Structure 1
Amino acid sequence: MACRCLNCIVPPHMLRRLLDCREESVRQAALATLLATERLRGARMVRALGGATPGAPAGGRRTVYDCRNATDLSLAVIARTEEQPDTTDTAVNHAFDGLGATRDFYATVLSRDSIDDKGMRLDGYVHRGTKYNNAFWDGQEMVFGDGDGVIFTNFTGSLDVIGHELTHGVTQFVAGLEYHDQPGALNESISDVFGSLVKQWKNGQAADQADWLIGPDIFTPDVAGDALRSMKAPGTAYDDPRLGKDPQPADMAHYVKLPNTDEGDNGGVHINSGIPNRAFYLTATGIGGNAWEAPGHIWYEALAASNPKTEFQDFADTTYTKATQLHGTGSPAQQAVLDAWAQVGIRISSAVIAGSDGDRPPGDDGGRSFAELSRQIAGLSEAVGALAGAVAKIRP
């Protein structure tokens, strides 16, 4: 599926806020980033008219290019390939390692062969432009800016950012979620979920050990904030005089209605993504253990069952169905999904609950063994026999 959007890690509302910053260098960097992003979005839409061109299968082969502060990717030079060792450029090494960790996560955990499941090569471009405050997936490759050095540092520094952006590519090929309103917010949330899972898997962190932050390494120490977003507590990631306060809602009662325009963040795709983000966090901690196992598989299967127009309610219902299919009726996973969505203000549809009661994996008895079922049947037979005897005694 061809995606005609440009998926950037830093939302436009943050960059626009920086246009009012007192520091001239920050204002200029934010303005240049916004203008460059608009030009890139236009170029991406033109290129997408010809369809997606992932290239020949390459087993997820990585190549990192150095833009040398140019904005034309065709002028970039190869900085590292699979045959080369570490370089002296930290950004190159971080990008190369991040591409590899994300590729390996999808292969090992979800049996997916690169972004398109057909071995798509992974190209990354570092040092794009001067003081470029963003990183993005444009439908074919990853591009990283160096940041302005005042608010943002180099964007290759956060593994979850790389996982987030490459997951936009996965969503592009799996479900093609439209990039506006609820489908767009779900698109952003899926990227946050799997970006975080890549980091947790790489670091060997269980759900209760993870920070559940997106982009904790891209702010400079001078910024009053932990990260771009918090999946655990949407709305608390940052509160800085220059950036403002994190606007993400944590539940549907605070859903933000915005116009489907660039200024409105395409209907709030980076803002309302906090709601399904928190639902995943609650599911993962409710189940316990490693979030990339049961919770990650449930979300991945739900993504595979989605379509371009899938909204929050649709996705919530599908995660419940997938939890039932994968783990059984009455399972802790099914209950965790049900409780998590309820806590963010989305109740699983009653028809879905009723239809899922008998929807178990082949050979699954909902957690009851054959011996247990036999004992229950025997007990019921005894009770019926006793009742029949009692009835016989009172008959005239």
Structure 2
Amino acid sequence: MKTCRCLNCITPPHLLRKLLESEDKATRDAALNTLVSSARLRGERSIRSTFGVGVSTAPASGRRSIFDCRGGTDLGQATLVRTEQGETSSDASVNKAFDGLGRTRDFYREVFERDSIDGRGMRLDGYIHRGRNYNNAFWDGQEMVFGDGDGIIFTDFTGSLDVIAHELTHGVTENTAALEYRGQSGALNESMSDVFGSLVKQWSGNESAEQADWLIGADIFTPGIGADALRSMKAPGTAYDNRLLGKDPQPDHMNRFANLPDNGENDFGGVHINSGIPNRAFFLTAMEIGGYAWEAPGLIWYEALKASVQTTQFQDFADTTFAKAGQLFGMGSQEQRAVQDAWRGVGIRVSGGTARRGRHRMIEAGGMAAREESDIAALARQIAALSGQVASLSRDLSAMKRGGNGAAPEIRSGPGGRSPRSQAPA
């Protein structure tokens, strides 16, 4: 199966570029270093994926290993500091990364019966303390890598469970739909990670949809930064709004969809921006259904992800979630209505699939029954007419025999002036 060859970073590039405008040199330097480093890593990821370098396929039941980069950027030089058999570390970052990988692994196993990220027991490797003042965390197709942040804007990225689950979910997407990391399919890719990142946090805290904060990355900003999180699924576009970070650009409706060029500078068509639209659709679905969002809503989205393809667009995914809701919970069920209402709430109408095909089948069935009834009635009328004509002919023949003069009787015409013989079926 083809997979997307992308480096999936939690911090969107538009936010880092905004930090380049900061009056503080340390903030500008950290943002520039993160942007340059991420671009280089993206290139390495593409080359490695093309040739399949270093990709482990041996099943390991999701076994965890944490490595310490000690400020370096060469993962090959990192030191193994914790394994499944190891003791708790004195380094809080080691333990937070280890626990976050485990909670995400357990979520997929217990909720969706999925064996690790690839469904085949893939081992989970985490690398902490990567680089200096590195304002990001990423999944590169093989491992999870965490920066410590610059200490000014961002703090240690291992401290956010939804960030860890977000990044690992990119691995799930790679091994299911392999959504292309550009345009709407790329925004869906990011949205899937936000959805399941939030669900892992909710599941871990036993929170209902009503209790959840629906924020992504609420724990990675330092105190005093006027920002709730990187993104808000409940209200896209409201996660932050200040001079330092700018205004959260995420739309919450298709009439505010950001049409951006498909290049690295514009985040490949705004994949971190337009993901706000499907994010809100999931939030609305979960709120209308109620209860725990990882149950019915999560299952619908997970099954729809598995049924998607590389180029799936928003409309395609909306139709698929509607169809999956019908398959899982019944046509016209509360769950299916919630899905339909949620997509309508972000400007996307479920356009076909199950609902329309169902209506068409009913119409076709009704039309066929009507046609059959009409045909039977017409046949009955034809038989009755023929019977009457045969009876009339019999009477005429009898009269001719009684007359015995050999004169041909008058044969009365059927409808349209034709003789009965001309109306008899061939």
- Per the TM superposition, whether the score is higher than 0.5 is yes
Cα distance in 2 for partners of 1:300, 1:351 equals 18
Match of 2:349 among 347, 350, 355: 347
Paired letter, 2:253? D
Cα distance in 2 for partners of 1:279, 1:54 equals 35
The answer to whether the aligner puts 1:203 opposite 2:205 as a matched pair is yes
Q: Structure 1 residues 356 and 9, CA, compared in 2 at 3 Å: closer, same or farther?
A: farther
> What are the within-5 Å matches in structure 2 for residues 170-209 of structure 1?
170-209=172-211
8 Å Cα contact 2:132-2:148 kept in structure 1: yes
- Structure 1 residue matching 2:33: 3-state secondary structure: helix
Q: Provide the residue aligned with 1:364 in structure 2.
A: none
Q: Provide the residue aligned with 1:15 in structure 2.
A: 16
The answer to whether the aligner puts 1:267 opposite 2:269 as a matched pair is yes
Q: Provide the residue aligned with 2:52 in structure 1.
A: 51
Moved more, 350-359 or 114-123: 350-359
Cα distance in 2 for partners of 1:54, 1:173 equals 14
Alpha-carbon deviation of 1:28? 0.4
Q: Provide the residue aligned with 2:401 in structure 1.
A: none
Q: Provide the residue aligned with 1:391 in structure 2.
A: none
Q: Structure 1 residues 356 and 271, CA, compared in 2 at 3 Å: closer, same or farther?
A: farther
Paired letter, 2:186? G
- Structure 1 residue matching 2:225: 3-state secondary structure: coil
The answer to whether the aligner puts 1:29 opposite 2:30 as a matched pair is yes
Cα distance in 1 for partners of 2:286, 2:155 equals 30
Cα distance in 2 for partners of 1:11, 1:177 equals 18
> What are the within-5 Å matches in structure 2 for residues 283-298 of structure 1?
283-298=285-300
Q: Provide the residue aligned with 1:382 in structure 2.
A: none
8 Å Cα contact 1:55-1:120 kept in structure 2: yes
Q: Structure 1 residues 333 and 153, CA, compared in 2 at 3 Å: closer, same or farther?
A: same
Cα distance in 2 for partners of 1:217, 1:46 equals 33
8 Å Cα contact 1:60-1:120 kept in structure 2: yes
Cα distance in 2 for partners of 1:321, 1:95 equals 37
Q: Provide the residue aligned with 1:135 in structure 2.
A: 137
Q: Structure 1 residues 211 and 36, CA, compared in 2 at 3 Å: closer, same or farther?
A: same
Identity rate of aligned residues, in percent?
Answer: 65
Rg larger for: 2
> What are the within-5 Å matches in structure 2 for residues 107-186 of structure 1?
107-186=109-188
Alpha-carbon deviation of 1:222? 1.8
**Deviation per CA, 1:320-358, whole angstroms, max 9, x where unpaired?**
000000000121100000000000000001454122569
Q: Structure 1 residues 239 and 346, CA, compared in 2 at 3 Å: closer, same or farther?
A: same
- Structure 2 residue matching 1:79: 3-state secondary structure: strand
Alpha-carbon deviation of 1:132? 0.2
Q: Provide the residue aligned with 1:67 in structure 2.
A: 69
Cα distance in 2 for partners of 1:206, 1:85 equals 33
Q: Provide the residue aligned with 1:244 in structure 2.
A: 246
Moved over 2 A (4+): 354-359
Cα distance in 2 for partners of 1:295, 1:358 equals 27
Q: Structure 1 residues 356 and 125, CA, compared in 2 at 3 Å: closer, same or farther?
A: farther
Q: Provide the residue aligned with 1:374 in structure 2.
A: none
TM-score w.r.t. length of structure 1: 0.89
8 Å Cα contact 2:115-2:121 kept in structure 1: yes
Q: Structure 1 residues 87 and 258, CA, compared in 2 at 3 Å: closer, same or farther?
A: same
Cα distance in 1 for partners of 2:45, 2:153 equals 27
TM-score w.r.t. length of structure 2: 0.83
Give 5+ residue unaligned stretches, structure 2.
362-426
8 Å Cα contact 1:329-1:357 kept in structure 2: no
Q: Structure 1 residues 356 and 315, CA, compared in 2 at 3 Å: closer, same or farther?
A: farther
8 Å Cα contact 1:188-1:270 kept in structure 2: yes
Cα distance in 1 for partners of 2:187, 2:236 equals 13
8 Å Cα contact 2:218-2:229 kept in structure 1: yes
Q: Provide the residue aligned with 2:320 in structure 1.
A: 318
Alpha-carbon deviation of 1:2? 3.3
- Structure 1 residue matching 2:175: 3-state secondary structure: helix
Cα distance in 1 for partners of 2:105, 2:112 equals 10
Task: Report the RMSD for the aligned CA atoms in angstroms.
Answer: 1.2
Paired letter, 1:233? A
Cα distance in 1 for partners of 2:326, 2:123 equals 35
Q: Structure 1 residues 125 and 348, CA, compared in 2 at 3 Å: closer, same or farther?
A: same
Paired letter, 1:171? T
Cα distance in 1 for partners of 2:236, 2:113 equals 31
Q: Provide the residue aligned with 1:85 in structure 2.
A: 87
8 Å Cα contact 1:62-1:82 kept in structure 2: yes
Q: Provide the residue aligned with 1:308 in structure 2.
A: 310
8 Å Cα contact 1:329-1:358 kept in structure 2: no
Moved more, 33-42 or 119-128: 33-42
Tell me how many residue pairs correspond in the alignment. 359
Q: Provide the residue aligned with 1:375 in structure 2.
A: none
Q: Structure 1 residues 331 and 203, CA, compared in 2 at 3 Å: closer, same or farther?
A: same
The answer to whether the aligner puts 1:299 opposite 2:307 as a matched pair is no
